[in-house]
Amino acid sequence: MVTFTSHSPEDTLALGATWGREARNGWLIGMSGELGAGKTQLVKGIARGLGIKARIQSPSFALVNEYGEGRLPLAHLDLYRLDTPEQIIGAGLDQYFGQPLGVVVIEWCERWPEFVRDGKSRNSKLQTPDANSVSPLPHLRLVRIETVSETVRRISYEDFGS
């Protein structure tokens, strides 16, 4: 696990931009952290690194925002308002979890219970709730953002898959 300490929103934006420049087709980034921790700020940086010029906003009410004008398409999901896998499936958001096109970033990923470690392969596979199917992931990055102080955030992340 890698830990980065951000001392400002600009630091968080810069980290996201680095990730956006490194991103490859099929990347899935699951983020967790309390309200106001900086998840959307990190997504803004990812979009910048992908070359997306559009204004990035949290999809709290829309559930998903898609941006197609960058080096790779970006889908930005927010599961905060959904409590169960059935609600996520009902909203049609589970389609983003299997073999994503471009980069998919999911805020509040812990609301999708299949973001769990399977011990041996440590998330190299993502289980879907229908028919117990399992999809191999090209790349999964799990991110935890913790508020240390008003301006300081601890961003821990771990990569799985190829």
Q: In this predicted model, what pLDDT tens digit does every residue of 41-66 receive, in sequence order?
A: 999 999 999 999 999 988 877 899 99
% of the chain with per-residue pLDDT over 70: 83
CA distances from 139 to 76, 115, 126 (A): 16, 13, 11
Q: pTM of the prediction?
A: 0.85
93 or 147, which is more confident?
147
CATH number of the domain bearing residue 11: 3.40.50.300
Instruction: Tell me the one-letter amino acid at 114.
Output: E
**78-96 pLDDT tens trace:** 999 888 888 888 888 888 8
Torsion of CA 18, 46, 118, 133, to 10 degrees: -140
Confidence grade of residue 144 (pLDDT, cut at 50, 70, 90): very high
User: Distance (Å, rounded) from C-alpha 123 to C-alpha 121?
Assistant: 6
**21-37 pLDDT tens trace:** 999 999 999 999 999 99
Q: Are 100 and 77 in contact (CB under 8 A)?
A: no
Mean pLDDT calculated for residue range 7-12: 97
User: Distance (Å, rounded) from C-alpha 140 to C-alpha 70?
Assistant: 20
Work out how many domains the chain is built from and give that number: 1
Q: What value does the mean pLDDT of the chain take?
A: 84
Tokens at 86, concatenated: 């059935």
Residue 152: φ, ψ to 5°: -100, 135
Q: Which pLDDT value is given to residue 46?
A: 98
Report the interhelical angle of 39-49 vs 9-22 (nearest 10°): 40
Instruction: Tell me the one-letter amino acid at 10.
Output: E
Query: Is the pLDDT confidence value at 150 over 80?
Result: yes
Confidence grade of residue 161 (pLDDT, cut at 50, 70, 90): confident
CA distances from 124 to 53, 66, 101 (A): 32, 25, 17
User: Distance (Å, rounded) from C-alpha 138 to C-alpha 134?
Assistant: 13
User: Distance (Å, rounded) from C-alpha 143 to C-alpha 107?
Assistant: 9
Residue 130, domain extent: 2-160
Total Cβ atoms within 10 A of residue 50: 22
